[in-house]
Amino acid sequence: MNHFYKFESKEIGQELLELATLYKANPTLHSSKGKGKRIGCIFLNPSLRTRVSTQIAAQQLGMEAIVLNMDKEGWALEMKDGALMNGSTVEHIKDAAGVLGSYFDILALRAFPTLTQKEEDISDFVFHQFVNYSGIPVISLESAIRHPLQSLADQLTIQELAQKEKKPKVVLTWGPHIKAIPHAVANSFAEWTLGMGHDLTICHPEGYELDPIFTPGALITTNQEEALEKADFVYVKNWSSYKDYGKILTTDSTWMLTEAHLKNAPQAKIMHCLPVRRNVEISDELLDGPRSLVQQQALNRIFAAQAVLSKLLP
């Protein structure tokens, strides 16, 4: 594993889950493993959990973390090779990534999709430009199409809660939202859940099919009621249309998850990556009730990041 931006294999997934479990029990177990090493965390977009959990994970391994809000503190980046830079971009990613690659031991990058340039987004263009030009290991802090640290934390949460004797029923259900939202969390959740060998049911309104490369083997339906039946884990997430790229096709509030939706799923725990639009995606009663795992997921972000950093350190 040279970089961390996607699901690699069940073996690596299990290894990372074991490491994360270890660090959750003993955060300072390897507190000098990263001594003298530096991680640069580059944000092209806002962040709360990702920003803080990555810094904490680095500190717990003894690394120095430097955060750079490139959009606000640095220079507007040109992403296209060969560009004649007489517009609003001030620095080419080639130069910036090269410099950062010489300053740090590991880089981490958050770069959201455009949601207007489909080809560019699905090639995960910005992330790969950073990888290409930095020359050092790069961790995705959410790219155009994946959010793998979130997914690793989510798998850790499922593993912590799943009953040993029974294969859990995992459901990913679309929830309404007022803005056009990236596919990254949904894609990654599907990719990791399936990759780790779980059954996965995905439900969404018509026209919201995810890119099929992330969902091989999933049961996909537009019938939310059937999908939720006897669910053990219900992951709620909005995403915009992939087919009609970046568009909002519906905000149908009947898709908002409430206690009533789970009448046939008495054991169901609910999950969300946060930030969540309360009473739009999920009702308060669920988020504040005993079914909610959202805080546990958020806490697990620290140990997911720590496991990945630990594995990438020489």
Q: Please report, as ranges, the residues that interact with a second copy according to CB under 8 A.
A: 28, 36, 38, 40, 43, 46-49, 51-53, 55-56, 59, 64, 66, 68-70, 72-75, 78, 81-86, 90-92, 94-96, 98-100, 102-103, 178, 274-280, 284, 287-288, 294-295, 298-299, 302
Closest approach, Cβ 201 to a second copy, in A, equals 26
**Considering beta carbons, is residue 50 or 310 the nearer one to a second copy?**
50
C-beta of 9 vs 28, nearer to a second copy = 28
Nearer to a second copy, 55 or 241 (CB): 55
| Calpha distance 211→144 (Å, rounded) | 13
**3-class DSSP state for residue 54?**
helix
Q: How far apart are CA 151 and CA 212, in angstroms?
A: 18
Name, in order, each residue with C-beta under 8 angstroms of 43's C-beta and a sequence gap of 6 or more: 51, 67, 68, 69, 70, 71, 110, 141
Instruction: Kindly tell me the burial class for residue 86, based on how many C-beta atoms sit within 10 Å of its own C-beta (0-12, 13-18, 19 or more).
Output: exposed
Q: How far is the CB of 211 from a second copy (least distance, A)?
A: 25
Q: Which residues are within 8 A (CB) of 88 and not within 5 positions of it... i.e. 6 or more apart?
A: 76
8: exposed, middle or buried (C-beta count within 10 Å: 0-12, 13-18, 19+)? middle
The distance of closest approach from Cβ of residue 260 to a second copy in the complex, given in angstroms and rounded to an integer, is 17
When the beta carbons of 52 and 220 are compared against a second copy, the nearer one is 52
Min dist CB 222 to a second copy, Å, is 23
Nearest distance, CB of residue 105 and a second copy, angstroms: 11
Taking phi over 0 as left and psi of -120 to 50 as alpha, with beta for the rest, 241 belongs to: beta
Q: Which is nearer to a second copy, 212 or 275 (CB)?
A: 275
Instruction: List the one residue out of 43, 101, 110, 95 whose CA is nearest residue 72.
Output: 43
Question: 92 vs 147, which CB is nearer to a second copy?
Answer: 92
The neighbour count for residue 193, using CB atoms within 10 Å, is: 26
Start-to-end CA distance of the chain, whole Å, equals 11
Q: Which is nearer to a second copy, 3 or 92 (CB)?
A: 92
